[in-house]
Amino acid sequence: MAEEDNLREKGAALELDSACSEEDEVTLVPMVQSDSEDVDDGDFESEVFSTSEVVQYMMDCIEEVNSVLQLPVTITRMLLQYFQWDEEKLMEKFYDSGDSDELFKAAGIAKPPIVEADFFLSDTTIGVCDICLLTEQMFGWQCGHRFCLGCWDQYLTTKIMEDGKGQSIPCPASACDVLLDDLTVMKLVKDSRVRLRHQHLITNSFVQCNRQLKWCPAPDCNFCIKVSLPDARPVRCQCGHNFCFGCGQSCHEPVSCSLLKKWNRRLQEDCKTATYLMAKTKECPACSVTIEKSGGCNHMVCKNVACNAEFCWVCLGPWSAHAVTSWYHCTRFKEDEVVTEKSASRLVLERYLFFCHRFMNHRQSRKLESRLYAVMRKKKDDLQRENKDVSWVEVQYLTKAVDILLACRTVLMHAYIFAFYVRDKNGQVAIFEENQRDLEAATECLSEYLERDITQENLADLKQKVQDKSRYCETRRTVLLQHVREGVEKDWWEFAE
């Protein structure tokens, strides 16, 4: 049942032949889906297949192998299934074994009959069924076991609908592992819905076994992604959803799938005993008034009229020290500032908390800033209502800016995971930290611009600032990711266990 729960329902039927053509880890770091995903994530070469194109691709693979093996189509499909759709491995075993009978036996496939499956159905006789013990019309499979047509139908329906077995269904006889071919299953099953489910399971199994294919994980999406080289790379589906081809989660560059999984596991374990990490309130460093963060920008202004202190939400330092010209000081953990008398375990904990806090801060900022889409829609409507000369096209830069802002937040979130695990062995980490610091400063600035009120008086000036900062953020995001990718190719990075 668990296997069936994991299967994806896709909307195209597998057309085995003309006779059948009548009758388809939860991430611990929740990501907020943006309204628009037009930001260039450096997608790698990939193709998007509809479910019917997946079926055609599967049939092309079968025909390519069958042009050499010259076997019934469904027998070839079952052999490919046995070898996890590795065509080269199948061909090698088929010809190197010297005994095709042994290969068929190992795969649980009866030796291909000389006659077609229709012969077996027409050769039915009346007899006593070993399952229901009634005298009924019988059908016998190539292994020699015979059962009534009603029991065959009920058995196959249970296997397909309840057990999720479509690609490899054995004979119902006890201790018999001989598999039924697809055409026989289609002819024995009466319900068209069961036949369609059977076709879905075969198609889904093909995708699951093929390292170059992956269903888009977006809800209600029936597209499949095909890549030239299976790797943990960001890909984009035709539905607009971006995801990592390696793990199927939302894009998480620059951190690898394995490190992200490791981080998530630690985060889950630590959050059970450290719920304070998720706290959304802090005290003003000047007057100690409790402040709640309601927006994504980290530039805080104390609302205490007797204070009005401006400070950074992340480190609680004066905001004036975070000016772009002085660089952003919250990205790098400084071990020399930690009291040397502290134990090694305490140092490890403080280092983890440093990166964890910043990771969660960007995650929370991203969640809050995702609401900017609705805010921007209202701002655009207000501007067009107040000024008839402002066209719809002229205010689209606001939505694009939010796209870029969220993309930068996503990269910064995962950049802190990368920074936590990476070890400097050649000076490249310093370059990474500088890129991270620059991107973070620009992102905070863009966030602040987008949270400002837009009026007729500041419209032109704010538009210029938002567009300029958006372009700069996108450039710096690309620079950071390309530097990490280059490091992967050139083996610059070394990570802690």
Residues 438-495 have pLDDT tens digits of 999 999 999 999 988 877 777 788 889 999 999 999 999 999 999 999 999 999 999 9
Q: Residues 273, 262: contact at Cβ < 8 Å?
A: no
Residue listed under structure tokens 């567009």 = 467
- What is the structure's pLDDT at 422? 94
What average pLDDT does range 333-349 have in this prediction? 57
Token pair recorded at residue 492: 């610059």
| pLDDT tier, 32 (very low <50, low <70, confident <90, very high otherwise) | very low
Out of 4-8, 201-205, 426-430, which region has the weakest mean confidence (pLDDT)?
4-8
Token pair recorded at residue 217: 């994980």
Of 391, 395, 398, 381, the residue nearest 449 (C-alpha): 398
What average pLDDT does range 170-194 have in this prediction? 83
Which one is predicted more confidently, 403 or 390? 403
> Distance from CA of residue 79 to its chain's centroid?
30
- What is the structure's pLDDT at 16? 36
pLDDT for 123 beyond 70: no
Token pair recorded at residue 63: 């025909």
| pLDDT tier, 37 (very low <50, low <70, confident <90, very high otherwise) | very low
- The phi-psi region of residue 133 (left if phi > 0; otherwise alpha if psi is between -120 and 50; otherwise beta) is left
Q: Where are the domains of the chain?
A: 2-109+153-164+192-244, 257-495
Token pair recorded at residue 425: 């062995």
- What is the structure's pLDDT at 413? 96
For residue 483, count other CB atoms closer than 10 A to its CB: 17
Angle at 93 between CA 87 and CA 98, to 5 degrees: 145
pLDDT tens, residue by residue, 241-292: 889 998 888 899 999 999 999 999 888 877 655 544 445 567 788 887 777 7
pLDDT for 26 beyond 60: no
- Give CA separation, 203 vs 51, 63, 200, 276, in Å: 8, 16, 5, 47
Paired with 283 in beta bridges are 290
Cα gap 91→81, rounded to integer Å? 13
Cα gap 251→357, rounded to integer Å? 21
What average pLDDT does range 204-232 have in this prediction? 86
SS3 state at 127: strand
SS3 state at 7: coil
Angle at 487 between CA 484 and CA 489, to 5 degrees: 115
Cα gap 37→43, rounded to integer Å? 12
Angle at 237 between CA 233 and CA 239, to 5 degrees: 155
Out of 164-168, 187-191, 314-318, which region has the weakest mean confidence (pLDDT)?
164-168
pLDDT tens, residue by residue, 376-391: 888 777 777 777 666 7
Q: Residues 312, 328: contact at Cβ < 8 Å?
A: no
- What is the structure's pLDDT at 22? 36
Q: Which amino acids are annotated catalytic?
A: 297
pLDDT for 397 beyond 50: yes
Q: Evaluate if pTM is beyond 0.75.
A: no
CATH number at 257-495: 1.20.120.1750
What average pLDDT does range 6-28 have in this prediction? 36
